[in-house]
Amino acid sequence: MPTTVAVLGSTGSIGTQALEVIRADPERYEVVALGAWSSVEQLAAQARELHPRVVALGADDRAAELAAMVPAGTEVVAGDDALASVANSAEVVLNAVVGFAGLGITLAALSGGRRLALANKESLIAGGPVVQRVRGTPGAEIIPVDSEHCALHQCLRAGNRHEVAKLVLTASGGPFRGRSPAELASVSVDDALAHPTWRMGPKITVDSSTLMNKGLEVIEAHELFGVGYDRIEVVVHPQSVVHSMVEFTDGATLAQLSLPDMRLPIAYALAWPERARRPFGALDWATLRRLDFEAPDHAAFPCLRLAVEAGRAGGSAPAWLNAANEVAVAAFLDRLIPWTAVAEVLNEALSEHDGSELECAEAVVDVDRRSRRSTEKIVKRRAA
């Protein structure tokens, strides 16, 4: 019997690569649900190819248009909660929605006792305390679709939890590695979107250029694996071949190596607890030659420290930071603020944060909304 899969965020970078993974092993998977926010034509084309039972569309106003384009027998659901409403339709739910909007899918999949292949790190980072509560639902399980956390997940299979000394997350360093703060003052949107090793969507590519992505990933690792912030280290590794490492109590370090290709962690999460039967490329040891490692430059990339501090503060701080970052990155992509202002905006936004506990999903949404409002004001002041 094939594994049933729901691909939510199916028209984005991770979603389309997930469909490549599924096409490569068609007997193994059956796509029963697809979901996207607004890319109606692309979503309809995917539905015509894969014949899911249901397609979910975030944009309510285009539901009729979509319904006219999907095959007979495919149901269309639409609205703000549409994607989350189909998260229980499959054994494996891939949450590949971008940003905080993915929270509802994460909560719905886990409280429904599903295996969640989680590419939407923001839901775990912002909603950490709330997500942890539903994670204990029988059958619920998170398999990370983030190359570093997929690597950690693999390395952790080599020992017991009490034998873990340290998690070491690798960072490519992004397109601006090695530049001084002065040189960074004039970088453009196009410069920030030119990632040296990974093919990803625009939001995460900008996050990689500021190292915010790595900071968010430290919080993600803490939430996923329950390891304290003092025992999570970040190291810059420009080749993006070592995807992360685990150091055990006896001093042995295990690393996971593969090509920088998101289809590997996607395939790992979909096939878990087995492995994908076919690789997407393999390392060529004859040409690989060298693997470099260096400490991150905190002066040039202050976002890394801002994120780790928010993680340590806990409660609503990661949610506040995550929302502020989404606003700041959008403003940079809209060319309203320069690249260096992203960290400055976040610094200012965090100073306006009044810490609180997160008891429920509504509280997370409220913190997210307040942070956005406050950060938008900061951006407006700067852009004026």
Binding site for Mg ion (CB under 5 A): 146-148
Separation in Å, CA 102 to CA 13, 96, 118, 265 = 15, 8, 10, 19
State the minimum distance, in angstroms, from the CB of residue 234 to Mg ion.
12
Minimum CB distance to Mg ion smaller for 68 or for 293: 293
CB closer to Mg ion, 240 vs 340: 240
Strand, coil or helix: 234: strand
Q: Which is nearer to Mg ion, 6 or 119 (CB)?
A: 119
* Structure tokens belonging to residue 59: 């944009």
Q: What is the helix (H) or strand (E) element at residue 49, kind and residue range?
A: helix 40-50
Smallest separation, CB 16 to Mg ion (Å): 18
| Residue among 280 and 315 whose Cβ is closer to Mg ion | 280
Cβ atoms of 1 and 79 closer than 8 Å: no
Which residue number, 148 or 297, has a Cβ lying nearer to Mg ion?
A: 148
Q: Which two tokens stand for residue 284?
A: 């060529």
Q: From residue 61, how far is each of 40, 64, 79, 159 by CA, in Å? A: 11, 8, 8, 51
Q: How far is the CB of 13 from Mg ion (least distance, A)?
A: 12
Question: Among residues 89 and 172, whose Cβ is nearest to Mg ion?
Answer: 172
Residue 92 or 216 having the CB closest to Mg ion: 216
**How far lies 271's CA from each of 87, 188, 243, 384, in Å?**
18, 39, 19, 50
Cβ atoms of 325 and 212 closer than 8 Å: yes
Q: Which residues of 330-353 are buried (b: 16+ CB within 10 A; e: fewer)?
A: bbbbeeebbbbbbbebbebbbeeb
Residue from 55, 13, 53 nearest 32 by CA: 53
Report the residue number, 16 or 356, with the smaller CB distance to Mg ion: 16
Count the neighbouring beta carbons within 10 Å of the beta carbon of residue 283. Answer: 12
- Distance of alpha carbon 290 from alpha carbon 283, whole angstroms: 12
Task: Measure Cα distances from 361 to 123, 126, 352 in Å.
Answer: 10, 10, 22
